[in-house]
Structure 1
């Protein structure tokens, strides 16, 4: 595939939403709940089938999944597979003088931050419950 073919290749945004959602272990129902009352599992399923997603919905989904909008707009599985295949089939060293973020690394980092935040929130809740119990027992 030539460079111009790569540029003309369509990115399937709905499929990318599904990929990121599944990588994060989020069910369609949970995403629907986060998007609001007029969303349900069926509507998420239809959204994930759309090649192009409306920019406002794309922004909402990206915020919920905690990924950059650009990751959903630009992720191309075929290109990722080609990079990986070329990296491991070629014995030469790969040097990237212009490193960019890797969406999966960013997702892992965000997921770990989310877990840490959740654990802090649970600890704060427990501490608050203890304080409230002490106040009630006085």
Structure 2
């Protein structure tokens, strides 16, 4: 995936991957139930996974896919750096007592590229659905 993690948000000490996943789930507003459903496991299993300091690479890739983020974002997540990133991203404008937050973030990835990736993925999913429906239709035609 093309999201670039700013160096300031990368962790240097050994991360607790389960805690990172849990924090990112909260930030992305994804429930453990949703993750469990997408991984085809129970919510209790997800809870156990999130308690692990290390998570199997294949499982971590599945989790990252569900969250629609790169594995590196999970591995390198740092809550302190994230808070600092947010603090540096938003500026409260108080000179006119309006108390409005001004958004200053300038992404390091191209929105058009992300949109193209999303659309290609959506088209691929739709093509798969169409193929399944065609096969089902053929099976039904053969029955009659």
TM-score by length of 1: 0.55
Aligned partner of 1:17 in structure 2 is 21
Where is the strand percentage greater, Structure 1 or Structure 2? 2
- Give the drift of 1:75: 1.0
Pairwise mapping of residues 81-92 of structure 1 onto structure 2 (< 5 A)? 81-89=83-91
Aligned partner of 1:60 in structure 2 is 58
- Higher-RCO chain (CA-CA 8 Å, sequence separation at least 6): 2
Where is the helix percentage greater, Structure 1 or Structure 2? 1
Counterparts of 1:123 and 1:89 in 2: how far apart (Å)? 48
Counterparts of 1:83 and 1:44 in 2: how far apart (Å)? 28
Q: What's the RMSD between the two structures over aligned residues?
A: 4.0
- Give the drift of 1:14: 0.5
Counterparts of 1:45 and 1:109 in 2: how far apart (Å)? 34
- Give the drift of 1:32: 5.7
The total of aligned residue pairs comes to 115
Counterparts of 2:70 and 2:20 in 1: how far apart (Å)? 12
Aligned partner of 1:73 in structure 2 is 75
TM-score by length of 2: 0.53
Pairwise mapping of residues 1-12 of structure 1 onto structure 2 (< 5 A)? 11-12=15-16
- Give the drift of 1:21: 5.1
1:100 to 1:130, Cα distance in 2 relative to 1, 3 A: closer
Counterparts of 2:24 and 2:127 in 1: how far apart (Å)? 25
